[in-house]
Chain A
Amino acid sequence: METLRAVIQANGLVVAFLVVGAAVWLSYWASRHLTRGRIHGSAIAIILGLLAAYAAGLASGGTRGVVDIGLLAGIGLMGGGMMRDFGIVSTAFGVQLSELRQAGIVGVVSILAGVLVSFIAGALIALAFGYTDAESITTIGAGAVTYIVGPVTGTAIGASSDVIALAVAAGVVKSILVMIGTPLVARHIGLNNPQSAMVFGGLMGTTSGVAGGLAATDPRLVPYGAMTATFYTGVGCLLGPSVLYFIVRALV
């Protein structure tokens, strides 16, 4: 037993390939036999991953899902930012430049609209919960943009640490909701072509959410959504502590 544990711990990434492979197999089996293909296998796999992360977080008290369970630490490498970005970029292989150029302007519009709309949504909720100072309202609004924009903005304008924690939580809720919700609403919002995928990526912006949500809807849409989504956090970090903060400060 000790020997097995040592082998597993010394080969984290290989263990991750095995565990994730088994989880994906199980999900596609469940998709075919339990939902008759109505829920896509990758959607089930992603939800399974989130459930595992929730259970592991409760058990370990950590912040990184199953990664905090010693034997599954390799999942953190496989699902970390480095591999995620490497995988996202590879999906662009085979995409035609002309398709991207066509949707260029609408992509820019959707990024700006997305940052603004999410910010307003977060700020309104902060107001509804009784926050009245511009720093807290701006930080929570920025958290609804993404969980990176929240703390970056909060730190820059000097919000309190519990407000920053709330902003991060709001961003994580958004990202997880996009992962789960996208395949459910895809048909109703016309998310079935490259152009709407670029609009979608620009509006949602959370890279993990868009990456997961589109993978669960139709993997062929991933490169288009990911392309615009990767600019979103940068634009959010640019506008949050500056223009948006000034506007909020002028209003309250």
Chain B
Amino acid sequence: MIIYGVALLAACLLTGLYLGELLGQLLGVQANVGGVGLAMLLLVMAGGSPRMRSLTTGASGEGVKFWSAMYIPIVVAMAASQNVVAAASGGMLAVLAGVLAVVVSFALVPVLSRIGPQSPPLPPLEQEP
């Protein structure tokens, strides 16, 4: 059943967000610390667990795959609801601070990627909506 996969996804997200809130309170931070990341870990573990097979394969798996295919449209909707005017009119200070942070961070990606075991590039992508 497709809903089983969707329910599994929901269970992972809610559990992760709850743990992230608890972690935030524990650290005394007014933010959710890694809730989504923890939820992803839970889903990865569910996907690899033989006992969860009935929830992650067949029609149930399609329930998760549907949302993963909806991801880009959701991101497009997210982009359309950003406060772009504020970003453009925040003045030179806001623009420069944002630009400098991004440029330096981009430059550090290849430097830090050299740490630890390397992973091979993914095979070329077939473009498809």
Q: Is the interface of B mostly helix, strand, loop or mixed?
A: helix
> Smallest CB-CB separation from A148: which chain B residue?
B31
A252 CA to B33 CA in the complex, in Å? 30
A193 CA to B117 CA in the complex, in Å? 12
With beta carbons under 8 angstroms apart, the residue of B24, B43, B127 that contacts A93 is B43
1/0 per position for A1-45, CB-CB distance to B under 8 A? 000000000000000110011011100100110000100111001
Query: Do the beta carbons of B37 and A49 come within 8 Å of each other?
Result: no
Specify which chain B residues have a CB less than 8 angstroms from the CB of A40 in the assembled complex: 127
> How many CB-defined contacts (below 8 Å) exist between A and B?
366
Query: Do the beta carbons of B116 and A96 come within 8 Å of each other?
Result: no
Specify which chain A residues have a CB less than 8 angstroms from the CB of B105 in the assembled complex: 114, 117-118, 203-204
B56 → A minimal CB distance (Å): 8
Query: Do the beta carbons of A100 and B83 come within 8 Å of each other?
Result: no
Query: Do the beta carbons of A220 and B122 come within 8 Å of each other?
Result: yes
A235 → B minimal CB distance (Å): 8
Query: Do the beta carbons of A117 and B101 come within 8 Å of each other?
Result: yes
Query: Do the beta carbons of B70 and A129 come within 8 Å of each other?
Result: no
B99 → A minimal CB distance (Å): 6
Is the C-beta of B3 less than 8 angstroms from some C-beta in chain A? no
B120 → A minimal CB distance (Å): 6
With beta carbons under 8 angstroms apart, the residue of A89, A96, A106, A218 that contacts B112 is A106
A65 CA to B92 CA in the complex, in Å? 21
A146 → B minimal CB distance (Å): 10
1/0 per position for B96-129, CB-CB distance to A under 8 A? 1111111011111110110111111110010101
A116 → B minimal CB distance (Å): 10
A180 → B minimal CB distance (Å): 10
A67 → B minimal CB distance (Å): 5
Specify which chain B residues have a CB less than 8 angstroms from the CB of A247 in the assembled complex: none
Is the C-beta of A226 less than 8 angstroms from some C-beta in chain B? yes
1/0 per position for A90-120, CB-CB distance to B under 8 A? 1111111101101101100110011001100
Contacts A193-B119, A215-B72, A234-B24; is A65 near B80 (CB within 8 Å)?
yes
B88 → A minimal CB distance (Å): 7
A143 CA to B95 CA in the complex, in Å? 11
Query: Do the beta carbons of A49 and B80 come within 8 Å of each other?
Result: yes
Query: Do the beta carbons of A173 and B113 come within 8 Å of each other?
Result: no
Contacts A88-B36, A88-B40, A102-B119; is A196 near B72 (CB within 8 Å)?
no
A221 CA to B121 CA in the complex, in Å? 11
Specify which chain A residues have a CB less than 8 angstroms from the CB of B115 in the assembled complex: 105-106, 109
With beta carbons under 8 angstroms apart, the residue of A37, A66, A178, A223 that contacts B80 is A66
Residues of chain B whose beta carbon lies under 8 Å from any beta carbon of chain A: 9-10, 12-13, 16-17, 20, 23-24, 27-37, 39-41, 43-45, 47-48, 56, 61, 64-65, 67-68, 70-102, 104-110, 112-113, 115-122, 125, 127, 129
24 contacts between A and B (CB under 8 A): A47-B79, A49-B80, A57-B83, A75-B77, A79-B79, A87-B74, A90-B9, A90-B64, A90-B71, A92-B41, A92-B44, A117-B104, A121-B97, A121-B101, A125-B97, A125-B100, A144-B100, A170-B98, A176-B84, A193-B119, A195-B116, A203-B105, A203-B106, A218-B125
